[in-house]
Amino acid sequence: MERNEEDGEREEAGAGGASIYSQPELYAHAFGGFRDFPKEVAFLHKLYQSREGGGGKNMRTLLELGCGPAWHSIEHAKKILREEQNSGDSGDGGAMPMSESNEKIVSVALDVNQEMVSYAIERASEERAVLDVVDVLLGDMRDLSTHLPEKYLKPGGYFDCTTLLLGTAAHLLTHDDLVRTFREAFACLREDGIFVVEVEHPMTTLFSGDLKFQDGEENSWEVTLGKTGRSSEDSSDSSSKNEEDGSEKEETMRIVWGDPENDFFDATNQVLHRTVSVQKYYTSSTNTTDDDDDDNDDDGPTSMFVQDPHYESKEVVKCKLFTLPELIAVASSVGFRFIQSFGDLDDDVKFDSENAQNMVAAFRKEG
């Protein structure tokens, strides 16, 4: 996720940890575990091939702005590799074939956070098949003409699709920054290329009443990080006892997205000062046998208990909230044509559906 540190919207994390945006592995667990990235990339391809998108063409090149761990860039490259190898276009033992314009790189992922870029490069390296076709870059999405290599700055555009997903646009706090980013995305696209933006749905924020009265429900979720050994710094008498009696320890992370009682909404600029909290703790389970109950064939109930968090982080993140007409107006001002809106990266979820999770707006660059 792109972070605009020049505007100073990140505040120091407290109580034991740096910002979650500077801890990419933690960020990936917190915000990536519930997403279906292959399905989302398939949605981008289907949209590009539609009449409203590229008009039947096959999408090949993707620019992912504010890429974070580069989830979509890597999945897109894997999809292209599968399709082109299955079609028999690759006759050199699996090497990536060139396009008609002699382009080998199919995914470019860009983020302003150095830790996130390093993590994305590591993830791409682990996917050996896509290593040579994914380019991960450090740069500011508001100034792509400065931060992208010249080979991606062709007059006719390099990319079929540019994305601004996972709420990244929310970190563009001013109108000028939003216009600059949309204009840069437009310049990088080929004719008939599409630009897809995903932000929070206004029905869950601006129009829900939660912000005005600050009485909304807590938005929180948990992610299982897996079994882990006890480090010396996490040791305690209780945890030592757990290991001795054979209990199994599992690490869990809890994310709280917003604090309705304390978050502040700047109505003039449509910016929410949102509290993001992260805790990591151990959940232990112990199987017990009830010898006095002959009718119970099981080993006994599993008792669960949670220790105090061994990691806590809290920070305030400024998030710009948008309406659909606002995004359409900015996109139109730089030359885009509005295609369609959705309630998720899924064409079956309509914008006004009760199942809408986010607001997805798609635009096309016409010749």
Which pLDDT belongs to residue 295? 54
pLDDT over threshold 90, residue 336? yes
Q: What would the two tokens of residue 365 be?
A: 């660059």
Angle between helices 324-334 and 175-188 (to 10 degrees): 50
Q: Report pLDDT digits (tens) over 286-315.
A: 555 555 555 555 555 454 556 678 878 888
Whole-structure pTM value: 0.80
Largest CA distance in the chain: 81
- Model confidence band, residue 42 (pLDDT cutoffs 50, 70, 90): very high
Q: Report pLDDT digits (tens) over 144-196.
A: 999 999 999 988 999 999 999 999 999 999 999 999 999 999 999 999 999 99
Residue 260 or residue 303, greater confidence: 260
For residues 268-296, average pLDDT: 73
In angstroms, rounded to a whole number, what is the distance separating the alpha carbons of residues 135 and 115? 16
HSE-CB of 58 using CA atoms within 13 angstroms: 9
For residues 133-151, average pLDDT: 94
Which pLDDT belongs to residue 55? 60
Q: Domains in the chain, ordered, with CATH?
A: 35-204+321-365 (3.40.50.150), 219-317 (no CATH)
